[in-house]
Structure 1
Amino acid sequence: MRETNPHHPPAWIASARLKEVTGNVQVARNLIMKGTEMCPKLWLALARLETYENARKVLNKARENIPTDRHIWITAAKLEEANGNTQMVEKIVDRAITSLRANGVEINREQWIQDAEECDKAGSVVTCQAVTRAVIGIGIEEEDRKHTWMEDAESCVSHGALECARAIYAYALQAFPMKKSVWLRAAYFEKNHGTRESLETLLQRAVAHCPKAEVLWLMGAKSKWLAGDVPAARSILALAFQANPNSKEIWLAAVKLGSENNEYERARRLLAKARSSAPAARVLIL
């Protein structure tokens, strides 16, 4: 196939892969080098066979030969991440956008998000997040940002690209730090897909920005309670009281926390205080 159709990239890759798996890495490398002359797209396959330093040279050469291919830039970012140079990743991605535009390439937001999802699934988390941040705002009207980003995050979750979704929520929270709805969506994401620590860290930031959002305080207290840390749950509810002194939901949560941990006297005192401070029907029925 390689002889009959030398401009067919899969034929070169298949020949090189065969040599690679049989231990002839140098022969595989030579084949791909020859293939790059016939099929410029084979630069990425060559980079995969090289050492770190040589792969960098190959990718630089590839950029000179094909200045309009975003995959070369993304591969370069992944290479740096894989070799511990995470501080280089964002610079490479930013330079990619600038360079591709200078070469007349339109930045297709959907394509790049798909690239980010593929980086996520390949374990290149830093690259995935850098790509997401770089393109998430492209082509979006200001009034559509929140709605679009929430949809983007849900789409990434449905594709199993959780780090992409996390990067989108983080970006949205920077843009809308006072929006309870965005904090809540991000919190539910961490609750369903993150760790208890990631959820609680997010909720601490959430209540600092939205202290009147009772549900965010209650989620934090419940997380501590479910983990068996009753004193921490009580501390969160105490801070919640300070921010929302007339909230019946927070009073009820404190009463429940006391009664379910056999602190009946504490619960009774809280209930009496609740009746005087937040005289809602639900409290009085208790």
Structure 2
Amino acid sequence: MNNLLQTKLLPEEKDIRFFEENGYWVSPKIFSDEQLEKIVEHQEKIYRGEFETGREPVCNWLEGVDNPRALRKTDNSHWSDTKLRAVATDSTIGATAAKLMKADVIRLWHDQLLYKPGRGTGKETANVGWHQDYIYWKNCMEPTLITAWVAFTDVDLSNGCMQVVPRSHKWGLVNVNSFFEQNLEKQQAEMVLPENEVFTTVPLVMKAGQVSFHHAITIHGSGANVTELPRRSMAVHLMTGDTRYQFDPKGQHFNARILNGNEGDLYEGDSWPVLYPYRQHD
């Protein structure tokens, strides 16, 4: 897969200001339809347990084993497949994250391959509850992280596109955070917001191949896919080069276990590939 830096697609100053104010931004189309066709083929291989590199992901939904109507979430698919690794380490995604975060270095934190099934029997929802990514990444000293969400298929409200809460990246961590919660209305009702702030959602309607970016503190979630076709995507979680380890008494993220470091150690090395600065390889 072509991983050349596409400079014409990078955010301009007005886009960077929009991200700073709202906590999210949506790119132009980065991946072509031809690339996406191959990507989806390799996504299906992962679900069949066909790991090109011979290395399994951190966790994976498997065909014939897990609930076919549930949300499929595979952590670190880039370990297992070179086509998916090319998505997770795409140079244009890395350069965009660097501009939005005003960072000199961007590394891969981890990826999540996602599949939200269609309505099937009509009983399943596969919602993603309102959450802030950093709540799961407290093994990082600061929220110096950003997520690039790559749409493999067209997404809108009908198939459960991501929805974000503008400005919520300025609120700090809120009291209600759960990726797996299905009752989004209940979550919203129980959430305590900063004074004079309002919980307003924006659906990120995107064409296949576009990429949305949101800050690690930005509240986001998604509703049901009521169409007949699956919603496919990858969340590419990224960190700036100054992201450091801290102990989290609530548990160790798998990245922290890989690092096996001391308080204040940088997350660096081959386990966290560099996306930016871009280096063209022979």
TM-score (norm 1): 0.24
Q: Which structure dedicates a bigger proportion of its chain to strand?
A: 2
Task: Decide which structure has greater helix share.
Answer: 1
Structure with more contact order per residue of length (Cα contacts < 8 Å, sep ≥ 6): 2
Rg bigger for which structure? 1
